[in-house]
Structure 1
């Protein structure tokens, strides 16, 4: 340890640029770093230099500095200080999200081709500072930053974290805290799983029973394959005003929220509220158990399509995101096979199987979503492939072709299914469950395994690399009832997935990631965020 510090000191004294690897502890690891001789001293007198185009970023940075010093810094149009600059020409070099961070002895310059690039430069600056910098405000505080030039951009445009709140509602404070950590780690998609069998968590004005009935369940299964119950009811939902507040909070952190409204399966909370939506006609209460359920939306009933279109109309009007997730996983086809109404529709439309009917249904939803200027996304069952060991092959004989505008979120099945999807023209987000599910314990997915995940599967023809949008990591909450337990599952693996999504493969280094992680963990300690410790 002492020898490495001595070598670094020699390099700094010489003023020679070195690559990202010395004492610059930033997650995700930047693409290129050059360290020079000398330091910049950040004090309470440091000002922010910003013009109107970077006003949002200036306000954000001012709030960070106020946490450190107890007073907001002055924001000026000219002078020396921390300069925020948008240079559209940088988009050619760094894309929409890249940035350049230059620390000199008299000033710091953060520039990007877009506001997002500038915002991410601020996140890297934050990580150059001591973990305790943003805590315990003190006007006399001084932070020393090495003179450095960082040039950085992400490997993938889709770097997502998914939170399931249907099974266990966590609330606005928890969501905002997660958005803060996502922003620090340059993750840009918050995938919000808001509806499922065990709870409907989003207010829909047209259908108030979805929340007055569908957000409440009488009890909760205590463990897998167990008849034991927790013995207490569970409920909670977000009003549209609360969702707008969270959307605005995310937008300030350059995070896009992709809502998920499950269909045609995982719909029993909605069916409990409006029983005519279901196939069985027996669902009148929100389930208290987890797993694959029997009932689903009755896709043979025209009234169900009208209901779903009205739901999506409110959702699409609420969320600025151009992508809406419709789920589409784990439909119980045996229920469809036993429904005379559904079998009549299959015969009428000349369909070959329940999976063929699901594609027919999904295409109708996709057409509606497309017509509103948005794009539909779903789990990879929407392609009609057999991805489950319990599924009868006869149920997944398909003639229909899924709409090409659909984005596929791959979570289960043979990895060859990704090759098949991209070669057929689909964009794919890789969320392979065995490597990205945060509800899995650390024995199943240790930090090393999370870090080693590559969204581009081995053997994929390089001509299809651009079809892989990136990755998602998923926090399913069936067995994760509390925020404390949730954080234990998420952290520190979220940092590993952030680096998977951002850092080019040539710059990834697990041992150096761990060195940077120790600094990040000190921040989590100060924030009282529970995280897993090896």
Structure 2
């Protein structure tokens, strides 16, 4: 591969393009008699952009023609794409031609000697020509996408393309995006629309998650019950861990003809479709269709709830492998991809351990108890090895989630590392190829903004745009000679809480674009504000194309710092482009006549911040945050035991930050979670403060292991060393599951004066005997301590 240095002048150019070209574009008039300038500050950012400032620009107008090779279907298809994109963006209809008429023409040139990277392209623009040179049709396609993203998005008469040379290629070969269609089903037409937006951002793999407990979505002609029974569930769970259902039958599947259409549609856009057929777990829809393939024989029903089920394919039953061999025979006939994804994740072993056939299989294989690999994991390894062998015989290779490392990795498997990066590092160090897709950074069924009450309801946790953009697929711990095994990365879109295609689009965009830049450009020094400026411009195209996309990153961003000695909160507001911000602190709606933000805001009493950004004469959505002060707010606080790492967030100050935690925010930073340990918080109140009540909230989600504390105790002190108890009480002991909900705990007592207060929530001994995970440690989930 030919490499091009990232020169200082190119970095300067990038900043220039963002600050100057974007302004000219965004302020362009929509009048069709107007012209506009193309803007090369796109996503993903090309590897090298060199403006030819001494040369005249290329003017694209209705006289411009696109040259394609006669009798060359791919060349014609590429020319058709470009013509459609231009008309879509600016309303100019370009003619296609097979005659090189010299001037005002766009040309494609394929030369396999240009570069070894099949996705490489060289885009050269002069006053007479736009020429895209590439090693293959894929490179031409990516050059076309660069032209497309450089266009304005208003109907105009002509576009001026500054003379430029762009040399570009991707860093990683696997630039993936998944979509789960089992939990919720989306039409084949939407799948094509999904593929279109992948193509826009140079992603080249569509991972189609077609089967799971909640629905089988691919027609298999030899096993019609998979779609007749397995594609339909009787109803669907409402909320998380609620055991409430909507009472509405739900289903759908793709015929083989529809799948062929989608695969061809993707191929034309240089996107490979990798199907996922989940085994041996996540197979309840299979068992409902063919009960004889399970350990118990059923009866089974297609999953109504989200989560993991005990019933899985029987590892001791040879008919299971006959069934899978038949299924994969039809699958490989539909999908020409090198890989078949076989899942392999979250397979519970309970049924296997109680199944006579599985126990006989364990005995025949000579599987023994090992400290490093339990019997169940070794049996799963046998299962995965056997599936890999049958797929290898069909000329394909497998990808599996990182659980397939357990018990012994299959010889030729590629690992998709989702439980962090450790699995990927382990596999790469053993010469296995790896695709990095850690849940922490690349699962897009998580909230995009901490303002969860104004976001679509979803699984939980918080993965904002900046976090996705920060991800590096090559772990620092991986030795240089093993880095070649990192094929790339992938964002995953799981659909439990995405009932509509618009929900999917919103969760995908713009976060997918953040990963696209990492996988394509691989910037060594990332400038997030620079990226957001370019993404803001690209969002105008997404809007025009009809894609829902989150705008949170373009609005007011807030950062909170706590001065616990002064009991003050400092609020710092910003925007990616330093656009003016106006705000109020009394809860009234801000306008351009409100206070203009110029320096951090200091508050020391209850306030309701509302702010807005004004950009190009337009007001953005209002950002708001309410702060409720009490005698503990922003005071020094110490914890005897630290929260579990999953629920640490901002640490102890979370309990005195003046912000109330809501039900939907317990995974996004508003609550602290203590696992199996007491919550003991000591707060320094100041000089002899009178106190008569203490209250706090607990979030209880019994199915998730979030329980009431055993008891609550309030203590006071004058010196922070010797404490006296003023109140205590025991709390409810659950004997069955309850709906997830917030419970307020309030202790009232005769007024006392103290300098310190200590609040203790006593942990229960473990999950009760009636619980599915009896004996495991329970969480205490707690928020704001209010002292009055």
TM-score (norm 2): 0.61
SS in 2 for 1:291: coil
Equivalent-residue separation in structure 2 for 1:146 and 1:277 (angstroms): 64
Q: Which has more strand, going by share of residues?
A: 2
Corresponding residue for 2:311?
Answer: 295
Corresponding residue for 1:22?
Answer: 16
CA contact (8 A) 2:63 2:94 kept: no
CA contact (8 A) 2:273 2:335 kept: yes
SS in 1 for 2:207: strand
Question: Is 1:62 matched up with 2:86?
Answer: no
Cα distance change on mapping 1:102 and 1:21 into 2, 3 Å: farther
Corresponding residue for 1:519?
Answer: 537
Corresponding residue for 1:87?
Answer: 111
Cα distance change on mapping 1:463 and 1:17 into 2, 3 Å: closer
Corresponding residue for 1:10?
Answer: none
Q: CA deviation at 1:481?
A: 0.9
Question: Is 1:422 matched up with 2:428?
Answer: yes
Corresponding residue for 2:780?
Answer: none
Corresponding residue for 1:42?
Answer: 60
Corresponding residue for 2:351?
Answer: 335
2:241 to 225, 232, 235: 225
1:119 to 130, 141, 165: 141
Equivalent-residue separation in structure 2 for 1:300 and 1:512 (angstroms): 56
Question: Is 1:170 matched up with 2:170?
Answer: no
Equivalent-residue separation in structure 2 for 1:121 and 1:70 (angstroms): 19
Q: CA RMSD for the aligned pairs?
A: 1.8
SS in 1 for 2:179: strand
SS in 2 for 1:501: helix
CA contact (8 A) 1:17 1:34 kept: no
Cα distance change on mapping 1:42 and 1:510 into 2, 3 Å: same
SS in 1 for 2:51: strand
Question: Is 1:451 matched up with 2:469?
Answer: yes
Question: Is 1:529 matched up with 2:550?
Answer: no
CA contact (8 A) 2:82 2:148 kept: no
Q: CA deviation at 1:21?
A: 3.9
Corresponding residue for 1:390?
Answer: none
Unmatched runs of 5 consecutive residues or more in structure 1 = 1-14, 134-139, 385-397
Match runs of 1:369-518 below 5 Å: 369-384=391-406, 398=407, 401-413=408-420, 415-442=421-448, 443=450, 444-506=462-524, 508-518=526-536
| Larger relative contact order, structure 1 or 2 (CA cutoff 8 Å, min sep 6) | 1
Question: Is 1:260 matched up with 2:276?
Answer: yes
CA contact (8 A) 2:67 2:100 kept: yes
Corresponding residue for 1:308?
Answer: 324
SS in 1 for 2:488: strand
Cα distance change on mapping 1:49 and 1:236 into 2, 3 Å: same
Equivalent-residue separation in structure 2 for 1:178 and 1:374 (angstroms): 25
Match runs of 1:102-251 below 5 Å: 102-132=124-154, 141-251=157-267
Equivalent-residue separation in structure 1 for 2:258 and 2:425 (angstroms): 40
Corresponding residue for 1:8?
Answer: none
Equivalent-residue separation in structure 2 for 1:69 and 1:525 (angstroms): 16
Q: CA deviation at 1:215?
A: 0.6
CA contact (8 A) 1:279 1:296 kept: yes
Equivalent-residue separation in structure 1 for 2:50 and 2:530 (angstroms): 16
CA contact (8 A) 2:10 2:49 kept: no
SS in 1 for 2:193: helix
Equivalent-residue separation in structure 2 for 1:66 and 1:86 (angstroms): 25
SS in 1 for 2:16: coil
* Per-residue deviation, residues 53-94 of structure 1 (Å, max 9, x unmatched): 6333223223324445474512224233111111111123xx
CA contact (8 A) 1:214 1:269 kept: yes
Q: CA deviation at 1:18?
A: 6.1
Cα distance change on mapping 1:212 and 1:123 into 2, 3 Å: same
CA contact (8 A) 1:266 1:293 kept: yes
Question: Is 1:280 matched up with 2:296?
Answer: yes
SS in 1 for 2:538: helix
Equivalent-residue separation in structure 2 for 1:468 and 1:151 (angstroms): 24
Equivalent-residue separation in structure 1 for 2:120 and 2:265 (angstroms): 22
503-512 or 95-104, larger mean C-alpha shift: 503-512
CA contact (8 A) 1:99 1:111 kept: yes
Corresponding residue for 1:7?
Answer: none
Equivalent-residue separation in structure 2 for 1:489 and 1:416 (angstroms): 26
SS in 2 for 1:74: strand
* Per-residue deviation, residues 191-239 of structure 1 (Å, max 9, x unmatched): 0000000000010111111011111111111111112212322111100
Corresponding residue for 1:355?
Answer: 377
* Per-residue deviation, residues 74-127 of structure 1 (Å, max 9, x unmatched): 2224233111111111123xx111111111111100111111011000000101
CA contact (8 A) 1:159 1:188 kept: yes
Equivalent-residue separation in structure 2 for 1:104 and 1:289 (angstroms): 59
Q: CA deviation at 1:380?
A: 0.6
Cα distance change on mapping 1:16 and 1:455 into 2, 3 Å: closer
SS in 1 for 2:519: helix
Cα distance change on mapping 1:351 and 1:22 into 2, 3 Å: farther
Equivalent-residue separation in structure 2 for 1:512 and 1:231 (angstroms): 48
Cα distance change on mapping 1:332 and 1:525 into 2, 3 Å: same
Cα distance change on mapping 1:283 and 1:187 into 2, 3 Å: farther
CA contact (8 A) 2:216 2:230 kept: yes
CA contact (8 A) 1:31 1:507 kept: no
Q: CA deviation at 1:31?
A: 0.7
420-429 or 54-63, larger mean C-alpha shift: 54-63
Equivalent-residue separation in structure 2 for 1:266 and 1:121 (angstroms): 41
* Per-residue deviation, residues 449-495 of structure 1 (Å, max 9, x unmatched): 00001111122111111100000100000111111222221111011
* Per-residue deviation, residues 372-392 of structure 1 (Å, max 9, x unmatched): 1111111010111xxxxxxxx
Cα distance change on mapping 1:116 and 1:261 into 2, 3 Å: same
Aligned residues: 496
SS in 1 for 2:435: strand
SS in 2 for 1:131: coil
CA contact (8 A) 2:170 2:520 kept: yes
Corresponding residue for 2:657?
Answer: none
CA contact (8 A) 1:16 1:36 kept: no
Question: Is 1:326 matched up with 2:320?
Answer: no
* Per-residue deviation, residues 399-434 of structure 1 (Å, max 9, x unmatched): xx4333111000015x33322211111100001101
